[in-house]
Amino acid sequence: MMAKHSTAIAAFFSLLVISLFNLFTEASPRFITPSKLIEQREVEAEYDYVIVGGGTAGLTVADRLTESGNFTVLVIEYGDFDNSSSIFSVVGGGQGLSNRTRLFSFPSVRQPGLNNITEQIVIGKILGGSSACNAMLFLRGQIEDYDGWASFWGGTSTWDWKGILPYFKKASTLTPPPDSLAQEFNIKYDKSFWGDTGTRIFATFPTFQWPQLKTNMNAFRDIAGITYPPDAGSGLPGVFWFPSSVNPVTITRSFARTGHWDGIARSNYHTITGSKVFKVLFEGDTASGVQYVPSTARSAITQNTKTVKARREIILSTGTIHSPQILQASGIGPKDLLGSADITVKVDLPGVGQNLQDHLYTFSQTHTFEKFDVHPNLDDMTSNATFAAAAQQLFEQDRSGPLGIGAGNAAAYLPFPVVAPDAFSKIAAAYEQADPAAHLPSNTHATIIAGYKAQQAAHAAILRSNGSASYNSVFKGGRTEGSTLHLHPVSRGSVNIDPKAPIFAEPIVDYRALSNPIDLDIMIELFKFTRRYFAVPSLAAFSPRETNPGPSVDTDAKIGNWLRGVVRPSAFHPVGTCAMLPKELGGVVDAELFVHGVKGLRVVDASVMPMLPGAYTQQSTYAIAEKAADLIKARQ
Ligand SMILES: Cc1cc2nc3c(=O)[nH]c(=O)nc-3n(C[C@H](O)[C@H](O)[C@H](O)COP(=O)(O)OP(=O)(O)OC[C@H]3O[C@@H](n4cnc5c(N)ncnc54)[C@H](O)[C@@H]3O)c2cc1C
Ligand SMILES: *[C@@H]1O[C@H](CO)[C@@H](O)[C@H](O)[C@H]1NC(C)=O
Ligand SMILES: *[C@@H]1O[C@H](CO)[C@@H](O)[C@H](O)[C@H]1NC(C)=O
Ligand SMILES: *[C@@H]1O[C@H](CO)[C@@H](O)[C@H](O)[C@H]1NC(C)=O
Ligand SMILES: *[C@@H]1O[C@H](CO)[C@@H](O)[C@H](O)[C@H]1NC(C)=O
Ligand SMILES: *[C@@H]1O[C@H](CO)[C@@H](O)[C@H](O)[C@H]1NC(C)=O
Ligand SMILES: *[C@@H]1O[C@H](CO)[C@@H](O)[C@H](O)[C@H]1NC(C)=O
């Protein structure tokens, strides 16, 4: 991949240009190779910035920091550069999970709240990270989510809706649906919530939708309090259509690599793949470099262990599961945990790896329409399999869509008072009055309890608010529908190094799903709402029938019992383990994303979200990365 200078003259000329450049600019790039994917042996001794993790956030930041040409950047990625065609496929929600070799995949600990199941943790392990394997649903949370993040800083934070909206706009480029389709399906969008900056991360509406979706979406009008916001990115809950992260011209996956890496030839932007960072190095209190090995290595005691230094900053972008692992392995974390692993404590920072949250969900509560609003070209769509095949066929005909029948582009993101008008107030009060420590592990540090208490107030407000979304259902327009997500879970889990093998074993991930019983109370209400929805008058003509679990599961106790057997603890949206919170509230990074207690080290990825947004997480991750890049540049 290295550029080869074909003649001595060319080599001489480029060296001359570079030395002249060096003569005049202090912090200038020093590289002679203009290509970016380099071999380990070509890595320079020092860069301005070292970015650990070439994923969703990491590549976004790397692109922005190298734009001016003033700074050199090295990205170190664990996975490989892989350009297989399956990565680009968009039908059926993408084939992101089709190839396990580009995924981290290991089990969580047993979940007592879910009948002792373990969940397989799935994360992208490839240049592009999880954006290279996700389902491409492209969504923002609510205004109240981001105002909530800022609220923990007593008025000094710029991470509120007003402060993050410009970065949502910068992070992607919208392609609206064709007018005729928008009219036929009543798809609302408003370009003022999107930017026009040429960013090559694409938010694209398909040019086709299944007819049944009209019925599904309109049926919500039968329920009191339902609203239809002006745009998927308006920050308001309700029933709306949303785009997919898909290139509108080629109709292929749009992800961090295609948007922030492919086709960029900058001599100051280096990337190595197949390399695992296991430690941040310090000079005094300042992060000065990182150590890494080939990702196939099973021990750090190898001649292949390398060090690279950063003149300005180290940026950890290894995601919610691995960023806390690297911090802990580097001596930044809860001191007892580090002690048990024989790691010298650099900063006793109790919050590292704690506060883990993910969306709880079930696809098992299903309803089947006996009479189905069938697309005229398709005479038999009696099973999901034929439905998927029909989508594939349609796609091959004219590359129209829908761009992910796995989940479609139509959804309900609903407030708890609308979902549970009779129960929300009682549940919110019971939750608010509970001892914050009651359902956290018994040895939880006082600062983390204080932080949870602050989050408890925020959660109680969410449960009472018509401006937040607690319930989510995504429709695919098929004969059988059934997806229910709990968007703001109140239980908290953890990611901790394995004391026996802190670096070369995967960390110990415990979702602690439903450890706070309020989560089950909420999910019972979400379940009953789904049932209420399928019973509305507008759907009656299509004869929906509850196919699972069926009418015999009728009391709250029976529903709760059934849910414990089917709920999954992770919708692949883990956040919170390096939370942007004050240290007194159990935080890991400050509002500039610097790790508390050291200098020159930031975390920029999904792990910094202190609380889950009421939405899938990729768009928020891109916005965080865009804002972080400006914060980093502002320090120059
Ligand atoms: C299967 C799946 C489906 C999803 N579906 C959706 C969806 O439809 N819509 C949505 O909005 N969100 C979805 N998400 C969530 C979304 O993709 C993530 O929240 C987001 O991409 C996280 O970005 P990140 O930068 O935090 O981490 P990542 O993008 O995961 O990047 C972390 C990178 O760090 C690398 N790394 C890890 N450890 C090391 C190490 N020690 N040294 C060097 N590199 C390392 C990894 O290989 C990876 O490339 C999905 C996620 C998954 C996994
Ligand atoms: C790059 O550096 C030059 C020289 O120091 C400076 O004039 C310019 O503003 C910088 N550009 C950016 C985008 O920071
Ligand atoms: C990746 O593959 C696509 C075709 O599938 C091709 O157009 C593109 O150039 C390839 N990218 C790289 C960097 O090799
Ligand atoms: C699966 O992923 C690996 C690693 O990224 C890659 O080398 C291989 O070509 C992929 N296989 C297919 C069938 O896409
Ligand atoms: C889960 O495991 C625990 C401990 O082994 C056991 O006591 C409990 O009965 C199990 N629960 C279920 C539902 O199997
Ligand atoms: C929330 O919406 C419901 C349903 O429309 C309504 O009854 C309730 O008054 C609203 N609550 C607030 C606080 O506005
Ligand atoms: C259709 O989907 C339901 C629910 O997801 C599943 O239980 C069923 O097995 C699927 N049927 C086919 C034929 O794939």
Q: Per-residue pLDDT tens for 145-200?
A: 999 999 999 988 999 999 999 999 999 999 999 999 999 999 999 999 999 889 99
Q: Is the CB of 480 under 6 A from ligand 7?
A: yes
Atom of ligand 4 nearest to the CA of 102: 5
Cis peptide bond prior to 402, omega within 30° of 0:
yes
Atom of ligand 5 nearest to the CA of 112: 1
CA distances from 298 to 76, 301, 415 (A): 18, 9, 48
Alpha helices (H) in 434-505, listed in sequence order:
446-464
For residues 100 and 575, the answer to whether their CB atoms sit within 8 Å is: no
pLDDT value at 20 more than 50: no
Task: Tally Cβ neighbours within 10 Å of residue 634.
Answer: 8
Q: Which ligand is nearest to the CA of 466?
A: 6
pLDDT value at 13 more than 50: no
Query: What is the DSSP pairing of strand 103-107 with strand 120-124?
Result: antiparallel
Q: Which ligand is nearest to the CA of 237?
A: 6
Helix 618-634 to helix 56-66 angle (10° resolution) is 30
Atom of ligand 4 nearest to the CA of 99: 1
């997480």: which residue's tokens?
A: 617
Q: Mean pLDDT throughout 103-128? A: 97
Atom 3, ligand 4: residue with shortest CA distance: 101
Amino acid at 231: D
What pLDDT does residue 10 have?
Answer: 32
How many CA atoms are closer than 13 Å to the CA of 489, on its beta-carbon side? Answer: 32
Q: How far apart are CA 67 and CA 444, in angstroms?
A: 43
Q: How far apart are CA 551 and CA 548, in angstroms?
A: 9
For residues 598 and 349, the answer to whether their CB atoms sit within 8 Å is: no
Residue of 180, 191, 188, 185 whose CA lies nearest to 227 = 188
Query: What is the DSSP pairing of strand 480-481 with strand 103-107?
Result: unpaired
Atom of ligand 5 nearest to the CA of 115: 13
| Cα-to-chain-centroid distance, residue 594 | 20
Return the higher-pLDDT residue of 26 and 539. 539
Helix 518-534 to helix 556-566 angle (10° resolution) is 100
Signed CA dihedral, 303, 304, 310, 315: sign only: negative
CA distances from 453 to 28, 72, 440, 447 (A): 47, 42, 11, 10
Average pLDDT, the chain: 91
Beta bridge partners of 309: 46, 289
Task: Tally Cβ neighbours within 10 Å of residue 40.
Answer: 16
| Distance between Cα 199 and ligand 2 center (Å) | 21
Which residue among 418, 425, 463 is best mutated to probe the pocket of ligand 6, counting the most ligand atoms within 8 A of its Cβ?
418
Return the higher-pLDDT residue of 1 and 308. 308
The pLDDT-based confidence of 116 (bands split at 50, 70, 90) is very high
Return the higher-pLDDT residue of 573 and 401. 573
């009421």: which residue's tokens?
A: 614
Beta bridge partners of 280: 290
Q: Is the CB of 262 under 6 A from ligand 3?
A: yes
The pLDDT-based confidence of 35 (bands split at 50, 70, 90) is low
The pair phi, psi for residue 527, each rounded to 5°, is: -60, -50
| Distance between Cα 466 and ligand 6 center (Å) | 6
Q: Tell me 178's DSSP state.
A: P
Find the range with the poorest average confidence among 246-255, 445-454, 491-500, 563-572: 246-255
Q: Mean pLDDT throughout 350-362? A: 98
| Distance between Cα 126 and ligand 4 center (Å) | 10
What is the tally of structural domains in the chain? Answer: 1
Signed CA dihedral, 121, 125, 130, 132: sign only: negative
Q: Is the CB of 116 under 6 A from ligand 3?
A: no
Atom of ligand 6 nearest to the CA of 466: 1
Q: What percent of the chain stands above pLDDT 70?
A: 91
Q: Is the CB of 304 under 6 A from ligand 4?
A: no
Q: How far apart are CA 617 and CA 573, in angstroms?
A: 6
| Distance between Cα 375 and ligand 7 center (Å) | 20
Atom 11, ligand 4: residue with shortest CA distance: 99
Q: How far apart are CA 255 and CA 145, in angstroms?
A: 24
What pLDDT does residue 210 have?
Answer: 86
- Is 566 annotated as belonging to a binding site? no
Task: Tally Cβ neighbours within 10 Å of residue 293.
Answer: 23
Q: How far apart are CA 636 and CA 628, in angstroms?
A: 13
Return the structure tokens found at 445.
Answer: 């540090």
Q: How far apart are CA 521 and CA 499, in angstroms?
A: 35
Q: Tell me 477's DSSP state.
A: -
pLDDT value at 9 more than 50: no
Which residue among 381, 383, 473, 474 is best mutated to probe the pocket of ligand 7, counting the most ligand atoms within 8 A of its Cβ?
383
Beta bridge partners of 358: none
Amino acid at 111: Q
Q: Per-residue pLDDT tens for 363-387?
A: 999 999 999 887 765 555 555 566 6
Return the structure tokens found at 381.
Answer: 């769509």
Which residue among 52, 295, 323, 572 is best mutated to probe the pocket of ligand 1, counting the most ligand atoms within 8 A of its Cβ?
572
* Domain CATH number, residue 329: 3.50.50.60
Atom of ligand 4 nearest to the CA of 126: 5
Q: Which ligand is nearest to the CA of 80?
A: 4
Residue of 280, 243, 372, 235 whose CA lies nearest to 595 = 280
What pLDDT does residue 354 have?
Answer: 98
Edge-to-edge strand list for the sheet holding 360-362: 238-241, 410-414, 471-475, 484-486, 360-362
Return the structure tokens found at 8.
Answer: 């001595």
Residue of 546, 543, 547, 542 whose CA lies nearest to 215 = 542
What pLDDT does residue 390 have?
Answer: 74
Residue 339 belongs to domain spanning:
2-634
Atom 7, ligand 3: residue with shortest CA distance: 83
């745009």: which residue's tokens?
A: 231
Q: Is the CB of 82 under 6 A from ligand 4?
A: yes
Q: Is the CB of 68 under 6 A from ligand 2?
A: yes
What pLDDT does residue 96 have?
Answer: 73
- For ligand 5, which residues put their CB under 6 angstroms from it? 112, 115-116
Helix 161-171 to helix 143-151 angle (10° resolution) is 120
| Distance between Cα 3 and ligand 3 center (Å) | 18
The pair phi, psi for residue 517, each rounded to 5°, is: -60, -15
pLDDT value at 333 more than 80: yes
Q: Is 500 exposed, middle or buried (0-12, 13-18, 19+ CB in 10 A)?
A: exposed
For residues 482 and 413, the answer to whether their CB atoms sit within 8 Å is: no
Atom 4, ligand 6: residue with shortest CA distance: 225
